[in-house]
Structure 1
Amino acid sequence: MSHNKSPNVINVEEVFGNPRDADLVLEGKDGFGVSWAWPKELGAGLMTRVKLRSGLALGLADFKIAQDISLGYEQMSMPITFSFCAYRHHPYFIYCTDAKKQLCVAGTNHGSLTYRPEWNGEFHYPHKVPVRQLSICITPELLGMLLSGLQGRIPGEIDALATGTTDISFEQTFTTNPMVNRTVHQIFDCTYNGTLKRFYYEAKALELITYAIDRIIGDENSNHNYEKLSPSDVERVNKAREILLGNLEKPPSLLELSKQVGTNKNKLNRDFQIAFGASVFELLRTSRLEEARTLIESGQFSVTQAAFEVGYAHAGNFTRAFRNHFGSHPKDHMSTTVC
């Protein structure tokens, strides 16, 4: 999958200071975590780093930027990291500056396990697209302890990560499901404080690591070898996605959508599963719910108004779908400024 890099590259230290200060031993003033706010001229939201225990930390990115930018990183080491995206079906891109090539693409319904002992490059984020990205950083020692008993079942590359016997960059992506997305949102929406918050974060982080390892083992032992999409297929599914996201209230049927992008409905659904880890209908449903949440949190829409705005005719159906996806009631996200 190709993508043109944004010319607006900003060094991450100019925005948030030295990211290497936020390693696995980082502690804020309260001994729990520290946050960085996006400069107002670039966007709104926070980047937060939380130490859970020795060898385990969370990175929480919850923001929306006002312009297409790439955050550039100079030579640095990136620890073993499990990453999950919980907002939007718009991918983000990671580039290796030296090789001038795209390393990976991730987005909603995708997660990844990565390790880059020596790396410099860019993270590209699209403008005006809400981002909720969770990173779980773990040391080889703790990962090895968690994986004890799974010898012979896990891929050799991951075993090497857990034993600390590799200095080779590694990346593996996997698809997620609504349960994982709900868990990620629950971490961001946690209302506990202090020690209870740390307990909650750690329990959810271990739950997500468990899911990721299970998915990776399943993919490794599976006989399925999904073909990669051709450039024309990639262009087609991206065009179809844009059509859906631009018509959430009154989207075309699957048959109409497939005709608009020049394919048949079965192939379009299959290609969506490969590209986004979701069917056309699943992507539409998730995008509607995420847009509705954004509208509700804006303070300009009631729950019923937001439901109608994204195409739900019955507020009851919307509320059930919202709770299943986010694990919370839509009213919990209402601003007090809603009339």
Structure 2
Amino acid sequence: MIADDEFLARISQGSSFRILKADPAAALDSFSMLPPPEKAAGQFDVYCQDQNLGLTIRNLRPKCGFSDDQVGLGRIIFLLHLSGKRRIELGAHSYELAEPTLAIFYHPPGLKKRSVWSDDADEISLTIGMWPHGLSSLCDFSAMDLPGISSISGDRSDVFWYARPLPYTLMSATENLFHHSVDRRVAKAFITAKSTEIACLSLDTLLTDGSFLVRRDVAVDRLERIRTLIEASLPNPPSLCDLAATFGMQPQDLSVEIREGLGVSLNQYITSRRMERARTLLESENMPLKQVAYKVGYCHASNFCTAFKRHFGRPPKNYMRLC
């Protein structure tokens, strides 16, 4: 989390929109962003508490074609485009929003996102922004499970983007936010609860979309994560069922993906990595065979020696470091 003044400064960085707070001395709860009056009417109403969950309601009526830039903060964005037109240019890609659409994307820190409107492109939309770590506190899901989010720099040209026609459940969920009449004393709690609901429904849409699960970038990232998980737990690696549950897939589908991506089955890959780790230990450490076997997941040295010789064609003692 960053200071409120810095948060506001970052939100408006590069933008021609003017920030207007109802009470300049009040805490950062809500404010408006006003477009240049000669270019558009309407405004963006922004509601945010503790910065983790920020809701923006856009109602924009362009008077001419114009664009506006926003520099990324490193947040996950859930965009519900309800009506109108807008083009989003992000990294090396351009996305047209002309129909009711759900878009989920990552806006890396320092990366410019350009929104482009034409003079007949009135827009009504709703956006929820979250810090990546906020997803973990909200639900049993990490933003790092999405491709192109970990280790991102501001000049990255290919960032995570997912879009599909807006589901009816999400369209209905937005209605209460646009037309609510709750008492002002519970308004903050209501907006937070509805924003959380919409974020969860959006994420559920993503994670249950079969076409998303088989996207090439998602599959490549999934294989990298599987490699990392196995490397970090060779003595007791995750099973196929464990990994399938982690990624929300059927075990048989993940098994096929692993074999196609790695060229071997999961068990064969685990055995190969165990043997490579064991050889490294034998060559670099003055360590008894039994201890080496244990470190790579074998309870009995005899089973380890058999597997090692089958893999390398020579027994492990041939690789042992001389004292």
TM-score (norm 2): 0.52
Q: How far 1:201 sits from its partner (Å)? A: 1.2
Name 1:198's counterpart in structure 2: 188
Name 2:274's counterpart in structure 1: none
| Unpaired segments ≥5 residues, structure 1 | 1-10, 226-339
Cα distance in 2 for partners of 1:68, 1:193 equals: 39
Confirm or deny: 8 A CA contact 1:78 1:116 kept in the other structure: yes
For the aligned residue pairs, the C-alpha RMSD in angstroms reads 3.5
Amino acid at match of 2:53: L
SS state at 1:51 partner: strand
Name 2:125's counterpart in structure 1: 133
Q: How far 1:123 sits from its partner (Å)? A: 0.6
Alignment pair present for 1:189 and 2:196: no
TM-score (norm 1): 0.49
C-alpha deviations, 1:68-106, integer Å up to 9, x for none? Answer: 111134x54352111111124x4x21124xx6x543233
Structure 2 residue aligned with 1:120, among 109, 112, 115? 112
SS state at 1:14 partner: coil
Confirm or deny: 8 A CA contact 1:47 1:61 kept in the other structure: yes
Cα distance in 1 for partners of 2:195, 2:152 equals: 24
Cα distance in 1 for partners of 2:104, 2:208 equals: 14
Change (3 A) 1:86 1:29: farther
Structure 1 residue aligned with 2:75, among 53, 57, 79? 79
Cα distance in 2 for partners of 1:223, 1:114 equals: 15
Q: How far 1:34 sits from its partner (Å)? A: 0.7
Change (3 A) 1:83 1:29: farther
Q: How far 1:121 sits from its partner (Å)? A: 4.2
Q: How far 1:64 sits from its partner (Å)? A: 0.8
Alignment pair present for 1:34 and 2:34: no
| Unpaired segments ≥5 residues, structure 2 | 1-12, 216-323
Confirm or deny: 8 A CA contact 1:28 1:34 kept in the other structure: no
Confirm or deny: 8 A CA contact 1:67 1:126 kept in the other structure: yes
SS state at 1:114 partner: strand
| Residues 225-244 of structure 1 aligned to structure 2 (within 5 Å) | none
Structure 2 residue aligned with 1:212, among 199, 202, 209? 202
Cα distance in 2 for partners of 1:85, 1:93 equals: 11
Q: How far 1:51 sits from its partner (Å)? A: 1.0
Change (3 A) 1:155 1:104: farther
SS state at 1:105 partner: strand
- Structure possessing the higher radius of gyration over alpha carbons: 2
Change (3 A) 1:155 1:143: closer
Cα distance in 2 for partners of 1:218, 1:110 equals: 17
Change (3 A) 1:42 1:107: same
SS state at 2:209 partner: helix
Name 2:252's counterpart in structure 1: none
Name 2:161's counterpart in structure 1: 171
Q: How far 1:203 sits from its partner (Å)? A: 1.6
Amino acid at match of 2:87: F
Change (3 A) 1:54 1:38: closer
C-alpha deviations, 1:14-66, integer Å up to 9, x for none? Answer: 3326xxx99xxxx9644321112333322211112211345111112112111
Greater relative contact order: 1 or 2 (C-alpha under 8 angstroms, separation 6 or more)? 1
Cα distance in 2 for partners of 1:46, 1:28 equals: 18
Q: How far 1:131 sits from its partner (Å)? A: 1.2
Alignment pair present for 1:108 and 2:99: yes
Cα distance in 1 for partners of 2:203, 2:119 equals: 32
